Amino acid sequence: MADPTTVSYAQDNPALARDYDTTSDFQFEHGKRLAEELQLRGGERVLDVGAGTGRLALHLAGLVGPQGEVVAVDPLADRVALARSRASANLQVAQARAEDLGAYPDDHFDAVVLNSVFHWIADQPAALAEAWRVLRPGGRLAVNSADADRPHEFVGLLAEGLARQGVQDRRGLVPPHVINEERFGELLDRAGFVELRITPLTFHDRFQDLEHLLRWNQSSYFGNFLPHLDLNGPLQQPLREALAQRTDAQGIQLQRHLVFAWARKPART
């Protein structure tokens, strides 16, 4: 459904970054779930890759305490600017891509986290190689992706709404590099990680209305969500009709499916 060539970091802007900061509760909550398994301790060093506006990084900084260190990196300048407003003595923020962490030395971090970013990375082996490089021996990795085997519920419903309006071109409805449980295992194993734990999880999200759902998607996709379509015009009604089956007095309730993975870099022998 997705066309990787449509993904562009240049599509982001300050308004989308601000929207993401206020609508990303879902990513923040499942990010905390992802980090929980790392059992971070005071004084540890953590790298948050694809940190967005820094909400999860701030949470991680609280877990490692004043003697610890969190570095938050993201490729999107407007999101980095917001994240820097959260910087502190133990939380640093920089602009960088997962595939190139050259600013950071080998064997430096106790843990690396990639939350809600892996499905945007075209060269996933390179990103895992960089995570491996910067992790100290015995260091831990936590990463998740939208599940290639189970699209988010809104994907099918919005596709149904678009079809009602005769729209068959759905580029940008799904991130371009989603993977499944099996593929995660292959990538982590080839990268040299051990003690793999990979599990599909389902989250139940509630949106206030269609506008809330679209704002969340547009900001989460940093401008790459159905970018060729005007979602504020005639498409609104068929989209609402498609979502009606999941709508009640409290709003729209939808299931979201992710694959979570945890692994470790082998300790030196």
pLDDT of residue 164: 93
**What is the pLDDT, as a whole number, of residue 224?**
96
Q: Are 173 and 2 in contact (CB under 8 A)?
A: yes
pLDDT, position 223: 94
* Token digits of residue 123: 């060269």
Return the bridge partners of 88, or none: 91
The total of other beta-carbon atoms located within 10 Å of residue 242's CB is: 21
Instruction: State residue 174's pLDDT score.
Output: 96
pLDDT confidence of residue 188: 98
Cα torsion angle, 160, 161, 165, 171, sign:
negative
Q: What whole-number distance in Å separates Cα of residue 142 and Cα of residue 230? A: 36
Q: Is 225 helix (H, G, I), strand (E, B) or coil?
A: coil
Handedness of CA 177, 205, 234, 218 (dihedral sign): negative
- Where is 202: in which H helix or E strand? strand 194-207
CATH fold label, 4-149+175-206+256-264: Rossmann fold (3.40.50)
Burial 33-56 (b: 16+ CB within 10 A, else e): ebbeebebeeebbbbbbbbbbbbb
In a structure prediction context, what are the per-residue pLDDT tens digits for the chain, which is 269 residues long? 334 445 789 999 999 999 999 999 999 999 999 999 999 999 999 999 999 999 999 999 999 999 999 999 999 999 999 999 999 999 999 999 999 999 999 999 999 999 999 999 999 999 999 999 999 999 999 999 999 999 999 999 999 999 999 999 999 999 999 999 999 999 999 999 999 999 999 999 999 999 999 999 999 999 999 999 999 899 999 999 999 999 999 999 999 999 999 999 999 75
- The three-class DSSP label of residue 94 is strand
**pLDDT value of residue 139:** 98
pLDDT reported for residue 7: 78
Q: For position 52, what pLDDT does the model report?
A: 98
